[in-house]
Amino acid sequence: MRIFHQFMLGLFFGAPLLGQTVSTVPILQEAALPMYPPIWRTAHLTGKVVVSVTVKAGRVAATDVKSGEPHLEGTTTQNLKTWRFADDVNGTFTVTFSYVISGDETDGPTNPVVEMLPSLDVNITARPVKPTVNYGAQSVPATDTLAHESSHIDPPKQQ
pLDDT by residue for the chain (159 residues), tens digit each?
443 333 333 333 333 333 345 567 889 999 999 999 988 888 888 999 999 999 999 999 999 999 999 999 999 999 999 999 999 999 999 999 999 999 888 888 888 999 999 999 999 999 988 877 776 655 555 666 666 666 656 666 666
Close Cβ partners of 49 (under 8 Å, ≥ 6 residues apart): 65, 67, 68, 69, 72, 73, 76, 96, 97, 99
3-state secondary structure at position 17: helix
Q: Is the pTM of this model over 0.75?
A: no
| Domain regions of the chain by residue span | 20-128
- Within the chain, residue ranges assigned H as helices are 2-18, 38-42, 70-80, 135-139, 146-150
Close Cβ partners of 159 (under 8 Å, ≥ 6 residues apart): none
3-state secondary structure at position 78: helix
**Rounded distance, CA 90 to CA 53, Å?**
10
Domain 20-128 falls in which CATH fold? TolA/TonB C-terminal domain (3.30.2420)
